Chain A
Amino acid sequence: DLRRCLISTDVHTIEESFRGIKKAIQAKDIFQNVTILSPSETLHSIKPSDVCCVTKNLLAFYMDRVFKDHLEPNPQILRKISSIANSFLSMQKTLQQCQKQRLCHCGQEATNATRIIHDNYDQLEVRSAAIKSLGELDIFLAWIDKHHHGTSA
C-alpha cells in the first residue's frame, strides 16, 4: 500500500530488544530535566502526511548520530543495540523506496520537529546526548507503532 508509506517491520521485536536494555540505559541518563525527542513539541503534533518524513529523519538521526556516538562497554547491551540498528537499517531501505515514489513528503512541522531534536542533541555533551537518546527509544518505537499501524508498504 504505497498510497501512505508505512513500515511493515514488526516494531514489537525491536521493542522486545530495547526492553532488555532499557533499565540499564535509562539508569545511565542522569539529566532527568532534559529530553532529546521532546515528544510534546515534536512527535505529538505530526500530521499523517508527515509521518514518513519524520520516521525517515529519526531513523537517520539514530543511525548517523546516536548509534555512532554511543560507546557501550557491556557486550550484551551492545548486541541488543546492534540488533536494533539492523532493524532500523531495513526500515530505512523500505522508506528509501517510498522516497523514490515521492511518497515521503516533508512538511514544515516535520522539518521543525527534526531540527528541534538535533538541537536538543547538540545541547548536551555527545556521550550524554547519545545515552539519553538511546533511553528514549521507547518513545520513538511507540510513535512508530502508533503511526505505522495497520497497513504495510
Chain B
Amino acid sequence: VPCVSGGLPKPTNITFLSINMKNTLQWNPPEGLQGVAVTYTVQYFIYGQKKWLNKSECRNINRTYCDLSAETSDYEHQYYAKVKATWGMNCSKWTETRRFYPFLETQIGPPEVALTTDEKSISIVLTAPEKWKKNPEDSSVSMQQIYSNLKYNVSIYNTKSNRTWSQCVANHTLVLSWLEPDTLYCVVVESIVPGPPRLAQPSEKQCVRTLKDQTSALKVK
C-alpha cells in the first residue's frame, strides 16, 4: 500500500561525505522526529543518464547514512542522490543532494608515513593513500594515479625547542637534516591537491628521537 507522500517532513542536511572516493550519503532525521522509528529509502542518479536507480541495501533502513561508493565509483561522472522518510502510513517527499562530482570533491586521506633516524637527520618515506575499493582483493589504485599533482604538507615539531616548521613536498621521500642529536621530533603529514579547497586529513602524529651525538660520546672516553 503506497504511503501518504508529504505526510512527514523531509530529512535534512543531505550530503555526500567522500574520502579517497569512499562516497557515503548522510542526512539528518526530519525535524521533530528524532528518536522516532522512522525508516529511510535512498535512490541515486547518474547525471546525464535516464532514471533514478534504487540502492537495495538502503531501502527502509533505520540508519541515516548509505554507502554509495560502488554506485559512484566512476569519479569522472557526476551524481545526485535523494532520500525519503517513512513512518507508518506516512512518508516524506524526497530530499535531494546537489550535483556531486567525486573527482573535485573527495577528500584526500593522509599518506602512510615511515620515519628512520640518524644523529642529525630524519628520513621520511611517504606512501600515497589508496582509492576506495569494493573488495579487499581488488587491485589497488593509488590516489597519486588519479591526482598526478598530489603533494604533501609535512609538519615537524621539535619537542625540545617547541619549534614547528612545515615543508610542501611533491615526491615520496624527504630527509630532514641539520637536526639536534638526542632530540624527540614529531611529524604530521597531510595530502594536498592543488585546486578547489578540500578538507585535509592529517596523519597520526609520529615521534622519533634522533641518535646521540657519537663524536661527543667518543671525546668523553
Report A's interface with B, CB cutoff 8 A: 11-12, 15-16, 19, 23, 26-27, 32-35, 38-40, 44, 135, 138-139, 142, 145, 149
Contacts and interface: CB of A to CB of B under 8 A. Distances in A.
B76 A40 contact: yes
A135 B99 contact: yes
Contacts of B194: 12
Contacts of A15: 195-196
Nearest to A33: B50
Interface residues of B, number: 20
Nearest to B101: A138
B48 A33 contact: yes
B78 interface: yes
Given A23-B98, A33-B50, A34-B48, A39 B195 contact: no
Contacts of A26: 98-99
Nearest to B148: A149
Contacts of A145: 195
Given A32-B47, A40-B77, A139-B78, 8 more contacts: A12-B194, A26-B99, A32-B48, A39-B76, A39-B77, A40-B76, A142-B103, A145-B195
Contacts of B148: 149
B49 interface: yes
A32 B76 contact: no
Nearest to A16: B196
B52 to A, nearest CB: 9
B27 interface: no
A32 B48 CA distance: 6
A38 B48 contact: yes
Contacts of B98: 23, 26-27
A7 to B, nearest CB: 15
Interface string B37-52: 0000000010111110
B104 interface: yes
B135 to A, nearest CB: 24
